[in-house]
Chain A
């Protein structure tokens, strides 16, 4: 069962930061927060993951609240190619299965 709640859709202007929220109020201490995205008719693409510290890579930043009950994925300068469905998933690090929720459809507009 998906253990996350995300808004169904969001709009973002090209070049601006996209901030995608995720609620995971029942997260356990050994569960990580993962973000994947799925561009239309493709397989999901890994973006980033974290446990409790904020994380940054070449694609995005992940901000996790101190109580770990929510997080935000930040795309610092959204482009049209970032239009996709973004999935927030929580799972233990050593548990390989992913259960996807409904995700957020991000529409980046010119």
Chain B
């Protein structure tokens, strides 16, 4: 099946700093990618839709100025968590559509 890769797999950052997470579709082009967040023992929550060449659309309750999304090419979307705080610590997962939705392996963010 199609491969979606995230980088990094885990990251630790200090409170107040920003961290960027990359999502790449390795063997197909994706005009649309999606970002999810998952807290421990909870399900995945859709945060936003990343659209190549245009602005991302955010789900209700997700702060667009805090979670910056850029989709500059057909194979790369980035999520930047700005001014991170400990409550932003979570598992962030991206997905992209080929024949079906394929998900990245996730990025574990810990803010200390």
Which A residues form the contact surface with B (CB < 8 A)? 2, 34, 36, 38, 41-46, 49, 87, 96-103
* Total inter-chain residue pairs, C-beta < 8 Å: 50
Q: Is the interface of A mostly helix, strand, loop or mixed?
A: loop
Q: Assess whether B103 is in contact with A102, with CB atoms less than 8 Å apart.
A: no
Q: Assess whether B104 is in contact with A41, with CB atoms less than 8 Å apart.
A: no
Which residues from chain B contact A45 at a C-beta distance below 8 Å?
103
The 8 closest A-B pairs by CB, nearest first: A43-B103, A100-B44, A100-B43, A44-B103, A43-B106, A43-B105, A43-B93, A96-B97
Name 13 A/B residue pairs within 8 A (Cβ), A-sorted: A34-B100, A36-B103, A43-B93, A43-B106, A44-B95, A46-B100, A46-B101, A98-B101, A100-B36, A100-B45, A100-B46, A101-B43, A103-B43
Q: A41-B106, A43-B103, A46-B100 are in contact. Are A97 and B46 (CB under 8 A)?
A: yes
Q: Is the interface of B mostly helix, strand, loop or mixed?
A: strand
Known contacts A43-B95, A97-B34, A103-B43; 20 further A-B pairs (Cβ under 8 A)? A41-B106, A41-B108, A43-B6, A43-B93, A43-B104, A44-B44, A44-B103, A45-B103, A46-B100, A46-B101, A49-B100, A87-B43, A96-B32, A98-B34, A98-B46, A98-B95, A99-B46, A100-B43, A100-B44, A102-B43
